[in-house]
Amino acid sequence: MSESSRPTSRPTPGQSTGGSAKRADMVTIADVARHAGVAVSTVSYVLSGKRAISASTRERVLASVRGLGYHPNAGARALASKRANVIALVLPLRSGMHLPVLMQFATAVVTTARQFDHDVLLMTADEGPAGLRRIAASAMVDGIVLMDVEMHDPRVPLLRDLERPSVLIGFPADPSGLTCVDLDFYRAGQVCVEHLAGLGHRTIALLGAPAVVYDRDTGFAHRTRAGFAETAQRHGIAAIAQPCEENFEAVVQEVAGLLARAPDLSALVVHNEAAVGQVLAALPTLGRRVPEEISVVAICPDEVAERASPALTSVLIPAEEVGRQAVSLLMRKLEGEPVPEGTLLPPRLTVRASTAAAPPPDQVRSRRVPTGSPAG
Amino acid sequence: MSESSRPTSRPTPGQSTGGSAKRADMVTIADVARHAGVAVSTVSYVLSGKRAISASTRERVLASVRGLGYHPNAGARALASKRANVIALVLPLRSGMHLPVLMQFATAVVTTARQFDHDVLLMTADEGPAGLRRIAASAMVDGIVLMDVEMHDPRVPLLRDLERPSVLIGFPADPSGLTCVDLDFYRAGQVCVEHLAGLGHRTIALLGAPAVVYDRDTGFAHRTRAGFAETAQRHGIAAIAQPCEENFEAVVQEVAGLLARAPDLSALVVHNEAAVGQVLAALPTLGRRVPEEISVVAICPDEVAERASPALTSVLIPAEEVGRQAVSLLMRKLEGEPVPEGTLLPPRLTVRASTAAAPPPDQVRSRRVPTGSPAG
DNA sequence: CCGCTTGCTCGAAGCGCTTCGACTGTCGCC
DNA sequence: GGCGACAGTCGAAGCGCTTCGAGCAAGCGG
């Protein structure tokens, strides 16, 4: 019984228990109208701006709104206007996407949505198609932003003929009839290779996501790999692509394996945010200094790249920009405006300390290769 | 004009543009009632279970519900029942909290809320008290879960007399009249020290959050430090507490500084998830093998501890459990049930590979202290 | 001076749901 | 046989808002 201001836990009959709303301070539009001496509809029009209201009336109404601390009841508004002013954000539960990127993205979505006077309902992917159907059918949200779409995502067909507009982050195999946004991962792979090619590297490798990510047909992983491989080929550069798990032992093993397969290897493209720090830790262990003996380019958020040592040359994952775009597109769809089906954000490569000109071939050849066991 | 199934972008007047809802398939309770041959209220009672309905009627209604794919309109329901079946989750935007923990937590909140048939509205802390007031007053949510509460959080007084129940993650300076949940960080610090004491360590240090986190009076940081310091004192152990920034250079510098100040140092408690990997990378550089020469205990999620090399002895941050608890408590408050004001989750320490018996003192003393330059 | 537009405001009809009170049988019991 | 109790169902009154049509005064051209 130590509560002071409000009885959080007094189940006394006949008086409202602390848990529920106090009816008292629920100001309604009728209260505002009465206070301002106008009709309810006038208040509504002042607030929505959908009809002309004289300046004097508007001021009076707005003063009452402020004075009474009026906030329109969301349910009533949704019911009457058929617009909830809420969008759904569907995030993947499972890993594979790096968490920080996800948070950055979610944050951008919320912030942008608020700028459009919308709120965000958070869903996890594990409710699956049924969850989407539920929130759509219940008119709880006006539109849906969906993250981490797979190539053959079971939710995609549903979205196509759902009664609410949606925007996908990532491209499914068949994006027709949908609105999709993403970083242009193909060009991201390309840009990395071109940067390295310009530095004279002739043998490079891509250290990618865990194998499972490729296996479940995740578009961005495949597209990066394609951009990497095709660009390397066009430049006549030897290129290996290698999935990689996200623990230190695996990283060391994969990197050592790459060095064994390609002794000339002078550059690494790392598209795995969780592994990137471990790659930097592993390389010195394997006798390669960064960037003198081996260059590293990462595809990751700037934050990760800057925090690493040495700071990483990187193509940033513009989570924030993607989030903003996604919401903006959704808002336009809500207004019934036409929007492009696909929006690919151009990658931007930032040069930092982890890339340098390729070492001269002879130096590479003659380098000792220290391992756990002596290499003779 | 490549769209096939639906005209997403045809602003033709007189027909609904693709963005908005197709009125057609919005099944209402009246449709269900008609289809089942009962009154609207009967359908409502079947669905809510608030009045007895004969088995035969119930079956008929439920069949119609399924057949028509009925989902109650959330706005209408909220309006009539004064319950939105939505809770707000307020997450901090800014750093200081480690992102993965945050995501884990958010995920747990959503999942648990769904089990209680509630959805989750995602807010960021940057809307501040005004945002809370808005969602509360608009009846958009029934209750609020607030993360990352600071000792003197400006939102706390507001929450106290808001008309909606709330649960805080973390304890403000004065938690009276509120409901708070958190890991018991004091005991977490304590448990770490006791583990090390049991292994015979006599000189230990706490590597904590960045200084700014302490400065803004973040409860968990202070409480961990207190638990650490007081327990060490009780055991007669020399203990240093040191804030730490989250980049490699700073980590190396802080650790080197600690070793210089306390050459006998044989164990480190790291309460900084972003730095923990860097600490492990830095120690060998500074000539200390883990755990032979120096033990490391971390306070971090199991995932981080397991992925590290060597695997870290750690007290896990039970983000999931905290999220579940928070939602459960909120639901009980929504039912008007009494709930405890404070819930402290006991820490659990998992022993892994990063802690070992303290090295004998003489060995410690005689150890060479290598630096960046080759050590012979 | 009439009738028209124009600008501003009001009243009322819902939106789809919950919930209260009332109604209809059935049953058990004096 | 009449009465209350009770289970099961229905109708209607809102919940707080938006929006439509209408009203009314003022302004204006013919």
Closest CA to A300 of A329, A334, A267, A273: A273
Residues with CB under 7 A from strand D: A 26, 28-30, 40-41, 44-45, 47-48, 50, 70, 72-73, 76-77, 79-81; B 37-42, 45, 51-54, 56-58, 76, 79-80
pLDDT given at position B298: 96
Q: What share of chain B is helix, strand, coil (3-state, %, to 5)?
A: 45, 15, 40
- What kind and span of H or E run contains A262? none
Q: How far apart are CA A366 and CA B215, in angstroms?
A: 53
CB < 8 Å to B134, chain A: 71
Smallest Cβ distance to B161: which of A6, A19, A338? A6
Q: For residue B97, with 0-12 CB atoms within 10 Å meaning exposed, 13-18 middle and 19 or more buried, which class applies?
A: buried
Average pLDDT over residues B205-227: 90
Q: B163 and A82 in contact by Cβ < 8 A? A: no
pLDDT band at B275 (very low <50, low <70, confident <90, very high): confident
Structural tokens at position A352: 């930092």
What is the pTM (predicted TM-score) of this model? Answer: 0.86
Q: B338 and A21 in contact by Cβ < 8 A? A: no
CB < 8 Å to B333, chain A: 8, 18-19
CB < 8 Å to B26, chain A: 137, 139, 163
Beta bridge partners of B124: B91
CB < 8 Å to A86, chain B: 121
Q: B308 and A122 in contact by Cβ < 8 A? A: no
Give B357→chain A minimum CA distance, Å.
25
CB < 8 Å to B74, chain A: 75, 78, 84, 138-140
Q: State the nucleotide closest to A27 in CA–C1' terms.
A: D16
Closest CA to B33 of B68, B69, B61: B61
- B interface mutation test: which of A122, A142, A327, A330 has the most B CBs within 10 A? A122
Give me the CA B354–C1' C2 separation in Å, rounded. Answer: 98
Residue B369: pLDDT over 50: no
Residue B5: pLDDT over 50: no
Q: A75 and B89 in contact by Cβ < 8 A? A: no
Q: For chain A, how many residues are written?
A: 376
pLDDT given at position A95: 54
pLDDT given at position B219: 84
Q: State the nucleotide closest to A39 in CA–C1' terms.
A: C10
Mapped onto helix, strand or coil, the DSSP state of residue B143 is strand
Q: How far apart are CA B60 and CA B71, in angstroms?
A: 16
Residue B24: pLDDT over 90: no
Amino acid at A183: L
Higher pLDDT, residue A252 or B307: A252
Closest CA to B167 of B361, B332, B359, B351: B332
Q: State the nucleotide closest to A47 in CA–C1' terms.
A: D18
pLDDT given at position A98: 66
Smallest Cβ distance to A75: which of B84, B114, B163? B84
Query: In chain A, which residues have pLDDT < 70?
Result: 1-25, 94-98, 361-376
Contact B219, B174 (CB under 8 A): no
Average pLDDT over residues B350-369: 74
Smallest Cβ distance to A138: which of B71, B103, B249? B71
**Whole-number Cα distances in Å, A366 to A352, A363, B317:** 27, 5, 48
- What kind and span of H or E run contains A65? helix A55-68
Placement of tokens 């659990």 in the chain: B348
CB < 8 Å to B180, chain A: none
Average pLDDT over residues B251-264: 93
Q: A103 and B107 in contact by Cβ < 8 A? A: no
Average pLDDT over residues B21-27: 60
Residue B235: pLDDT over 90: yes
Give me the CA B228–C1' D11 separation in Å, rounded. Answer: 68
pLDDT given at position B247: 79
Q: What share of chain A is helix, strand, coil (3-state, %, to 5)?
A: 45, 15, 40
Give B233→chain A minimum CA distance, Å.
33
Mapped onto helix, strand or coil, the DSSP state of residue B299 is strand
Return phi, psi of residue A205, to 5°: -140, 150
pLDDT band at B98 (very low <50, low <70, confident <90, very high): low
pLDDT given at position B273: 84
DSSP character string of B303-371: HHHHHSSSPPEEE---HHHHHHHHHHHHHHHHTT----SEEEEPP-EE--TT--PPPPHHHHHH-----
Closest residue in B to A337 (Cα) is B9
Higher pLDDT, residue A9 or B178: B178
Strands B349-350 vs B313-315: parallel, antiparallel or unpaired: antiparallel
Structural tokens at position B243: 């804030």
Q: State the nucleotide closest to A26 in CA–C1' terms.
A: D16
Render pLDDT for A136-169 as a digit per residue (tens, 0 to 9). 999 999 999 999 888 888 999 999 989 899 999 9
Average pLDDT over residues B320-334: 96
Q: How far apart are CA A231 and CA A190, in angstroms?
A: 6
pLDDT given at position B156: 93
Give A294→chain B minimum CA distance, Å.
20
Smallest Cβ distance to B247: which of A179, A281, A307? A307
pLDDT given at position B217: 77
Q: Which of B86-100, B124-138, B206-220 has the lowest mean pLDDT?
A: B86-100
Q: How far apart are CA A254 and CA A209, in angstroms?
A: 12
Q: B75 and A72 in contact by Cβ < 8 A? A: no
pLDDT given at position B317: 87
Residue B375: pLDDT over 50: no
pLDDT given at position B20: 36
CB < 8 Å to A140, chain B: 74-75, 86, 119
Q: For residue A93, with 0-12 CB atoms within 10 Å meaning exposed, 13-18 middle and 19 or more buried, which class applies?
A: middle
Phi-psi region of B209 (alpha: psi -120 to 50; beta: other; left: phi over 0): beta
Contact B121, B155 (CB under 8 A): no
Beta bridge partners of B180: B168, B342
pLDDT given at position A94: 65
Q: B307 and A138 in contact by Cβ < 8 A? A: no
Mean residue pLDDT of chain B comes to 87
Contact A289, A282 (CB under 8 A): no
